Structure 1
Amino acid sequence: MGRSPHPAAVVLGAAAAGVAVWSTVIERRLFTVRRHTLPLLTDGAAPIRVLQLSDLHLAPWQSNKVDWVRSLAELRPDLVVLTGDLMGHLQARHALLHALRPLAEQSPTVFVHGSNDYYGPAFKNPVKYLLEPSRKSTRTPDIDNVALTQGLEQLGGINLNNGARRIEVRGTSLELLGLNDPHIRYDSVDAMRAARDQLGTAPEHVLRLGVVHAPYQEALGALLDDQAELILAGHTHGGQVRVPGVGALTSNCDLPTTQARGMSVWHDAHRAAFLNVSAGLGNSIYAPVRFACRPEASLITLEAAR
């Protein structure tokens, strides 16, 4: 007669099964809005609500994610910022544009690309992912990025890839500085600065926002040098799997893991900026897991200092 399993082994096995079901079936569908308030506007300025969406990694069949993104129009944001990795499948473009249309129709929308807006998903060794950034430098891009860019622009989206634009939102002049994805070395600070120079002299009271997909330190430093007061990024998935009490195990770039999710401050010896790294709304179809890291959109309210 065989021996019964030790009670501790039974408990551990049940716990492991529970974690697996939670992280692969439940948590990655628990979309949430993470809210922040920052005192960045001048006295008397009307508040500005900035909605940041990142890392949708959308696949055509993910109708629940599409419906949730469309529902965000009810938040009535004043500005929508898309920080890349919107595509999660070669055939996701039409579903993505459908998801974004209600937001783009009511609010100014700006975007930069991430690596997955050029490269379709592929299986990666999860151990290697934890050890070093998964930079793509040898694959041939297989997503039609030109069609994606044109589709976003046809919705009214402003292309900030290595670019700059100045817009007015609720009476405040915003200067938007954007870099293409440093993760695949598509960023060009020189091109961004040339575009900024073409804007001419900035108004006396202008708020500068930096936008980039992957928050590599060099890119953050360049945006800081150009006087960005708020930098918005994604890419990290917040670590995707976080250990309670420890946090993210990786940022998939050279950003400290302590800043892999949420609002923090990025600074050098001379200046500082708020940095919001969105944990994003998706994951690769080859890594359908999130643990202690719910998929999120960020709603950042900019207001006058009290």
Structure 2
Amino acid sequence: MSIQARRLAESPVLTGGVPPVQQVAAPLPPSDDERLRARLSELHLRQRLSMESAHGKAVFGYGRTFFHIENWYSIHAVIRGTLRLMGIYGRGQRNARALKVVHNPVTLPALPAAFSGLRLLHLSDLHLDGDPEYLHTLCERVQEVDADLTVITGDFRYRTHGDWRPAMAALERLRRLLPGEVYAILGNHDTVRMVPTIEDFGIRLLLNEHVVLERGADRLYLAGIDDPHYFCTDNIERAAENVPLDACAILLAHSPEAYWQAAHSGFDLLLAGHTHGGQLCLPGGFALMTNADCPRSFCRGPFRYCDMQGYTSAGTGSSIVSVRFNCPPELVVHELRRPQ
């Protein structure tokens, strides 16, 4: 059986949680604003839109960290110029397009038997409207991956504000190639106004919500929170509402900064991104900056806190400047396993 045929046959069934938005035939389709009001709570939507408008461009203050280099566009040009003068800008661009597939086996004691062997393709920090050549390479690499479903941990757009439609056009192209059902969350580069468009592509956004994956009588809970780094619109309590305490549950968070609350809420696995693994690293992979208020050991690759395991993607795309050094971009395939 081909990979694509097996994906269709084995894809888990979505049930429970908060039901996906349904397309209902009507003489006049609702506007995106109306759909947003129907999709999110009034407070969540007001909070997100207000902060995007008032503080979305701030370089200093707000969020979990004081300094937000991704919002300081003038320094981006300085970095590019410096790398060109050093003669390494082109090499950095080639590094940023050298996507690798990383396989990460995860043993979860509470994992139901029917989900043993489940493969999750984890993409993060796509920044799809940055480099067209990167997008082409990403589409090629995705087709080589064998997985049962896809999760995306935020940052669809390259910049933190401005026109988001080019990123959506690129996402539409990518979506057709992604394996299985696709679940995603928003990051600090994303506007909540993207929500209707993203869900029209068949991507289920988890906005402080959860869904239930079923195989036979077994259930696996997949939750997602809104951006915990800059906008701080995450609500783990709401995302985990009605998830049984003894159930196996996975949380998608844009940044590993949510590790403390996630672990003490009973999640078994946290999948995150945001840090890019540092992106510009010294030899040996030492990050010059991680842009996250959490232990450095949680900012790239697998980690553990209390009884919870975690994985922070080094990022699929690149931000600030489309270059990488000593920190390759990655597509991660997490294979869930039960203890032997």
TM above 0.5, one fold? yes
3-state secondary structure, aligned to 1:281: coil
Q: 1:183 to 1:84 in 2, by over 3 A?
A: same
Looking at structure 2, the residues matched to 214 and 224 of structure 1 have their Cα atoms a distance apart, in angstroms, of: 14
Looking at structure 2, the residues matched to 152 and 169 of structure 1 have their Cα atoms a distance apart, in angstroms, of: 26
Match of 1:211 in 2: 252
Q: 1:256 to 1:193 in 2, by over 3 A?
A: closer
Alignment partner of 1:159 is 2:221 = no
Q: 1:172 to 1:288 in 2, by over 3 A?
A: same
Q: Which runs of 5+ in 1 are unaligned?
A: 1-15, 119-144
Q: What is the TM-score with the length of structure 1 in the denominator?
A: 0.73
Using the TM superposition, give the Cα deviation of residue 161 of structure 1 relative to its aligned residue in structure 2, in angstroms: 1.8
Match of 1:110 in 2: 183
Q: Do the aligned partners of 1:46 and 1:171 also contact (CA within 8 Å) in 2?
A: no
Counterpart selection for 1:31 from 88, 94, 99: 99
Q: Do the aligned partners of 2:97 and 2:137 also contact (CA within 8 Å) in 1?
A: no
Match of 2:262 in 1: 223
Looking at structure 2, the residues matched to 245 and 195 of structure 1 have their Cα atoms a distance apart, in angstroms, of: 37
Looking at structure 1, the residues matched to 97 and 314 of structure 2 have their Cα atoms a distance apart, in angstroms, of: 13
3-state secondary structure, aligned to 1:75: coil
Q: Do the aligned partners of 2:223 and 2:250 also contact (CA within 8 Å) in 1?
A: yes
Alignment of 1:99-248 (within 5 A): 99-103=174-178, 106-118=179-191, 145-146=192-193, 148-168=194-214, 172-189=218-235, 192-197=236-241, 200=242, 202=244, 206-216=247-257, 219-245=258-284, 247-248=286-287
Match of 1:303 in 2: 337
Q: Do the aligned partners of 2:96 and 2:134 also contact (CA within 8 Å) in 1?
A: no
Residue identity matched to 2:256: P
Q: Which runs of 5+ in 2 are unaligned?
A: 1-84
Using the TM superposition, give the Cα deviation of residue 273 of structure 1 relative to its aligned residue in structure 2, in angstroms: 1.1
Looking at structure 2, the residues matched to 167 and 43 of structure 1 have their Cα atoms a distance apart, in angstroms, of: 13
- Please list the CA deviations of residues 239-294 of structure 1 after superposition, one character each: whole Å capped at 9, or x if unmatched: 01111236112220112223321111123xxxx2111100112223x422210001
Residue identity matched to 1:117: D
Residue identity matched to 1:22: R
Identity of counterpart residues, as a percentage? Answer: 29
**Max radius of gyration: which structure?**
1
Q: 1:237 to 1:229 in 2, by over 3 A?
A: same
Q: Do the aligned partners of 1:66 and 1:96 also contact (CA within 8 Å) in 2?
A: no
Counterpart selection for 1:264 from 257, 278, 303: 303
Q: What is the TM-score with the length of structure 2 in the denominator?
A: 0.66
The size of the alignment, in residue pairs, is: 249
